[in-house]
Chain A
Amino acid sequence: MSSAISDASKPAGGPTPAWAVYPGRPARRAVRLFIFISSAMLLTGLVSMLFADLLWRSGWTNSSTILLVLFVILFLLISIGCLHGIYGFILRTFGDPDQITRLGDYPSQSIEGVSTAIVFPICNEEVARVFEGFRATYLSLERTGQLEHFDFFILSDSRDADKWVEEERRWCELALELDALGRIYYRRRISVEGKKSGNVRDFLNAWGRRYRYFIVFDADSVMRGETIVDLVKLMEAHPHVGLIQTVPALVNAESLFGRIQQFANRLYAPVFIAGLNYWAQGFGNYWGHNAIIRTDPFMQYCDLPSLPGRKPFGGQILSHDFVEAALLLKENWQVWFAHELQGSYEETPQDIIENAQRDRRWCQGNMQHGMVLFARGLRGVSRIHLLLGIFGYLASPLWLLFLITFNWTLWFRQHTGLSVITVRALTPFLKLSGTEHAFLIFLICMGVLFLPKFLALIDLAMDGPRRRAFGGLRRATMSALAETVFSALHAPLQMLWHSQCVATILLGTGVHWGPQKRTPDGIAWFEAVRHHWANTLIGILWGTVVWRIDHATFWWFMPVLAGMVLSIPLSVLTSRTSWGERAREHGLFLTPEETSPPSELDTLRVRMALLERSGAAAPPPPDASIAEAVLDPYVNAIHVSLLREKCLNPDYRQALAALGVGTPEVRELGERMLSKGPEAISGPEKILVLSDADVMSWLHRQAWIRSSDALAGWWQSSIRQYAR
């Protein structure tokens, strides 16, 4: 058990300026930021001038103004992306000493007497996968010999009764198997107030003071033991750092879509993040997981206020991570990206639809950041992080608007019969015809979009071991080309979805797709039609309109239209695990974690395969876990013991009472469940029954003691399961 460190948890520094540790740092960082943003402004300014000139040459209208404004915004965004690639490439080629991992001698740092909590906030997740990921991380940390400095917490917010019971059972089994009772803990919250950030806050309120640091995992996160230890050492070496964010590598994808995303992440992210770190330095960001946080300042400054007004902008802050980082920075704590640290992993959606569903959640959270964008006291860098997050989604409707306005301009010109008379402008100095002028802008845009990918390939070519880990340069290049084609087809779909998300969020309505039906190999055709018919229809109608306006423009629009028209087969085929496997056999989209899997991922893969083969990974049938919680003497004992221990916390006791625990109604519900089966009570009623320790003990005894005529047939058949 880690030692309590209430006093030791106080950082050596406190709220003195973050740059105090590194004299001269603010100036250098400010210069870096100035150079970076100025580069983007310069590039955008020059190309915008060229674009404005093109518009001017063909006759200025109101539409031209709209097009120009949209172009400036959109080009600025892609140029920032491009410059991340360029700066990152240069820094990776020539070296950048200004990284958290290179400032000071952290490897020699001792973590003796330092206690760190590793927290896994989960909510209705696939339980077997969560616990196997957890096991892989635990075993990896155990191998470092530093396990004694860490405690593990599974922080459940699951509202599904079956998931709740399964989590408890798997937790106890795992803790017993690893001989880690008293090191691996499980806590399920009674109310889900504040969602994930509320879950973490609840942990901090109960146990936070015991730990100097805590490391937040996602349900699908896995981390290498050495990486975890390194994070603690880095925090110890830099007492003014409040948070260090690792850059998780996407892993374990099996579908074609997942493998493409995984490949893109592994190939491009190092270059982009190096570029991001160039200007962010100690003013980085937090992505919600796979990060270490200094407990004391986080508890002091990062409890998020509720935003005024109604949803979707008011109320609880959904994407809490960006705001928490901004609050730490506001109070002079540094936030760094540790992009050189390897061994931090997460998983990615396996198909286009799942990806869009995740985007929908993130979109709402990021759009909400508009409310805090101008909050007093936030650092300018935080505003840039927030703004980039907002435009990550807002760019889609702007792009859509740009394309529509462009089509409108074409149609208007054709409708009015006005001919395009190119006039003398800036470009005569460049000696370009109107068409050449337009083509030059197009080439620049394509260059800005694709240059970072090209630089990432050059970066790979210069790094032998890394090149081999991607299956060689030829395969990586082929994969990058295929990824580019796919992302060109995928981008218009994302544009439509993000636009829809932004529109519905602004209107205060939601898009609820419900759970999707997957076949073992991927998305079913019917399911794809259900989700993509509108995309296809828009693509066909749009294409028809453009074709009727101008045949030549139609071909320029082909990449945009093709993604929409082909959305159904694109969604189905890229969701296929068999296609993902086939691509792997052909050496496409290989990543270092696929060519030589680290032991953590290997453990996870083998364990999951075993569980799947034995059927133990499959979610139990409805109410099966309730039967287990009532009938199984051990599961019932675990469940009841955890409930009783929960009552030691006055907050939980109060919450249980507020839920109705201890009232005669719960016993009545239990009686109804016994006599008529669990289907006789609703989901929330099941949760209520499961929350009452006395009723659960009583149910266990009654279910075993009562004769068959006093029990629902469902219980009798459940009891018969134990006879086998």
Chain B
Amino acid sequence: MDVSLESALNDPAAGAEQTGRIVGRPLEDWNAAYAKVESYFHALRVRDKVLLGRLVIHVLKRAMRRAPQELQCPVTELAAEEMDLVVTDWFAQVLQESPAGTDHMLSTRGRLALLLADMPGKWQEQFLRPGPWPEAFVKAMRDAYLRAGPDFQLSKMAPRPLDLGPIATLTQLSQWSYGKMVFIWIAFALLLVAIFVLTHFPFTH
């Protein structure tokens, strides 16, 4: 993949054949396409301005090649499709997987690998560059895998029946391990009631 700025700008297909138009499409359409492709690379945290410019031009150059044949297709869409193809093809090469076609698995995996390998921080100059790439970069990309959890060790907790029957329990008060203590407290309360009755009721008469 050639991503040099010079080659992009020198491409005859990219030449302006008339004022305000490039390959038959209005210049503002190309500007809009440029902005969109640039936004996507921004979203990928490509912060190196020179690299960013080269990449955008490279994508637009490919879109320009398609533009004369696909007149119904808006320029922004053409450029975005080319951007997607360029990125996915590169993922396929780096990750040694077959190009995905309509399957988005490769794109997801590739983007994730870029993040986990810290492309924005460590490997920006390698992004979309044709191989061979540094071994460490390739290893970081290929080993990247996001795990939400360790391997499952599935089991099934099952609630045990709980006998809530209060009446049944109340009828077996004597079997409580604290039955004796409860009995003592009740006896104590009854004693107080008895004292109260004995000390008060005689005075009512």
Residues in chain A within 8 A of chain B (CB atoms): 1-2, 4, 6, 30, 33-34, 37-38, 41-42, 45, 48-49, 52-53, 56, 151, 153, 172, 176, 181-182, 185-187, 201, 204-210, 299, 301-308, 327, 371-377, 379-380, 423-426, 631-634, 636-638, 640-642, 644-646, 648-651, 694, 697-698, 700-701, 704-709, 719-720, 722-724
Contact = CB atoms under 8 A, between A and B. Distances in A.
Interface string B57-101: 000000000000000001011001101100000000000000000
Contacts of B50: none
Given A41-B185, A305-B161, A206 B152 contact: yes
A317 B193 CA distance: 39
B116 A697 contact: no
B158 A705 contact: no
Contacts of B166: 373-374
Contact of B155 (A49, A205, A720): A205
Contact of A374 (B35, B149, B170): B170
Contacts of B170: 374
Nearest to B115: A634
20 contacts: A4-B151, A30-B178, A45-B189, A48-B192, A176-B118, A185-B149, A205-B156, A209-B153, A210-B153, A305-B160, A327-B160, A374-B164, A376-B165, A377-B163, A423-B203, A633-B43, A633-B114, A634-B114, A637-B111, A694-B104
Contacts of A186: 148
Contacts, number: 203
B43 to A, nearest CB: 4
Q: Which 4 A-B pairs have the closest CB atoms?
A: A374-B166, A697-B104, A380-B178, A637-B111
Given A206-B154, A207-B149, A723 B42 contact: yes
Contacts of B114: 633-634
Contacts of B177: 379-380
Contacts of B188: 38, 41-42, 45
B1 interface: no
B150 interface: yes
Contact of B157 (A172, A181, A204, A634): A204
Nearest to A307: B164
Contact of A697 (B108, B157, B189): B108
Nearest to B112: A637
B205 interface: no
Contacts of B44: 633-634
Dominant SS among interface residues on chain A: helix
A30 B178 CA distance: 9
B106 to A, nearest CB: 10
B7 interface: no
Contacts of A720: 39
Contacts of B35: 723
B150 A722 contact: no
A218 to B, nearest CB: 21
A633 B35 CA distance: 17
Nearest to A639: B108
B49 interface: no
B176 to A, nearest CB: 6
A64 B196 CA distance: 14
B136 interface: no
A426 B146 contact: no
A172 B146 contact: yes
A644 B147 CA distance: 10
Contact of A723 (B39, B149, B165, B184): B39
A186 B149 CA distance: 7
A209 B107 CA distance: 35
A303 B169 CA distance: 22
Q: Which of A185, A209, A701 has the most CB of B within 10 A?
A: A701
Contact of B147 (A34, A185, A424, A640): A185
Contact of A719 (B36, B147, B162, B196): B36
Contacts of B38: 723
Nearest to B185: A41
B39 A638 contact: no
A306 B166 CA distance: 17
Given A307-B164, A375-B169, A636-B111, A201 B157 contact: yes
Given A151-B150, A704-B80, A637 B199 contact: no
Given A56-B200, A706-B77, 4 more contacts: A181-B116, A641-B112, A719-B36, A724-B42
Contacts of B199: 425-426
Contacts of A640: 104, 108
Nearest to B191: A45
A638 B146 contact: yes
Contacts of A698: 104
B133 interface: no
A65 B154 CA distance: 59
B99 to A, nearest CB: 14
Contact of B42 (A327, A650, A722): A722
Contacts of A700: 104, 107
A301 B41 CA distance: 54
A33 B164 CA distance: 25
Contact of B159 (A204, A304, A376): A304
Nearest to A299: B157
A638 B116 CA distance: 10
Contact of B148 (A304, A646, A705): A646
A201 to B, nearest CB: 5
Contacts of B196: 49, 52-53, 56
B153 A49 contact: no
Interface in B178-205: 178, 181, 184-185, 188-189, 192, 195-196, 199-200, 203
A640 to B, nearest CB: 5
A638 B115 CA distance: 9
Interface in B129-149: 146-149
B37 to A, nearest CB: 9
A110 to B, nearest CB: 23
A700 B43 CA distance: 12
A722 B43 contact: yes
B176 A641 contact: no
Contact of B163 (A2, A205, A375, A644): A375
